Amino acid sequence: MPSFVKFQDLVDLLNRLNTGGEFAASVLTDIDGIPLVSASTPDWDPTLSLAAVVPLVRQSVLRSNEQVGLAAANEVVINNNDATRLVTRFFEVEGRLFILACVVPLKRPYRKVMNTAILAISRLWQNAKPAAPRLATPIVHA
């Protein structure tokens, strides 16, 4: 039976992540890059574009690592020309794969605050209540 996590809990978590890490934006996606939740500062808004890029980063790294015989990566960092980094972390919770991507200032430490966020996301998912079963809507023929 599917379970659900409160959307607002995830929004609050990403807002705390951005505040604590002084990040411009963060997005949590599924493994295909479908955004589950995002948060950003008022002056940075392309979080949906960020969600679209995240699975491409993962696919590139997976292919590269396979070609040279390396294990799968759990983090990718891209240093940008505007003194920011795109940090993507890949993790699994109860068999579901997720990607947490953050736009981080170049000299700002990020691992501790991202680890804390991933742990909190994992706890939210593990403590999620089962979704109520959906009843089929009867089809009425006139």
Q: CB–CB of 17/102 below 8 Å?
A: yes
State the pLDDT at residue 120: 95
Q: Over its length of 142 residues, how does the chain's per-residue pLDDT go in tens digits? A: 345 678 889 999 999 999 999 999 999 998 888 888 888 887 766 656 777 677 778 788 878 888 888 888 889 999 989 999 999 999 999 889 999 999 999 989 999 999 999 999 999 888 876 655 555 444 444 4
State the pLDDT at residue 45: 64
Task: Give the N- to C-terminal CA distance of the chain in Å, as an integer.
Answer: 34
Q: Which helix (H) or strand (E) holds 40?
A: strand 35-40
CATH 3.30.450.30 fits 3-128, yes or no: yes
Which sequence spans correspond to the domains of the chain? 3-128
